[in-house]
Amino acid sequence: MPRFTPPDPDFEMKVRDSFARQTFMRTVGAILAEVSPGRCEVALPWREDLCQQHGYIHGGVTTALADTAAGYAAYTLMPAASSVLATEFKINLMAPARGERLVARAEVLKPGRTLSVVRTEVYAENEGTETCIAAMLSTLICLRGTPDAPARSG
């Protein structure tokens, strides 16, 4: 049973369509693994070209995964004619980002008409074991009446 009821019955399609326009997520090879009311999971297979000097996935990539998962978790609970943006977040990088893949799991703690609070944990998966490598707390804003897609020019 869902913890929250989305105001938009097409929330999953709205989120998946928006994620498909995320060129940065496509560039790093991230996928939208799961979407449900108030929750989102973004996964990324390990890639050498995303690593820092020690061979771990760069903290900026880890942060981007957490931020993206948080935004879409909040977006599942926003009206159809809206968009979402982060207004602030704090992340703790707790262990090296090494493993076969990273998975960012976000859950809305408090949905709001304007601001929502989301907790995200990022896990490194390696040989069937998960290690929590990062934790983020985010505040996201609902931009009502603002299209999620960019305006088409021409």
The DSSP-derived string for 100-115 is SEEEEEEEEEE--SSE
- CA 138, distance to chain mean position in Å, is 10
* Mean pLDDT of all residues in 16-43: 97
Contact 92/66 with Cβ under 8 angstroms?
Answer: no
Name every residue whose Cβ is closer than 8 Å to that of residue 9 and which is 6 or more positions away in sequence: none
* Mean pLDDT of all residues in 109-133: 97
Confidence of residue 122 (pLDDT cuts 50, 70, 90): very high
Correct CATH for 11-144 of 3.10.129.10, 3.30.360.10, 3.40.50.620, 3.30.9.10? 3.10.129.10
pLDDT at residue 147 in the model = 87
Per-residue pLDDT tens over the stretch 49-66: 999 999 999 999 999 999
Confidence of residue 72 (pLDDT cuts 50, 70, 90): very high
* Mean pLDDT of all residues in 75-100: 97
How would you classify the pairing of strands 115-126 and 39-45?
unpaired
Domain ranges of the chain: 11-144
pLDDT at 1 exceeding the cut of 60 = no
Confidence of residue 22 (pLDDT cuts 50, 70, 90): very high
Confidence of residue 154 (pLDDT cuts 50, 70, 90): low
**Residue found by looking up tokens 């944990």 in the block:** 121
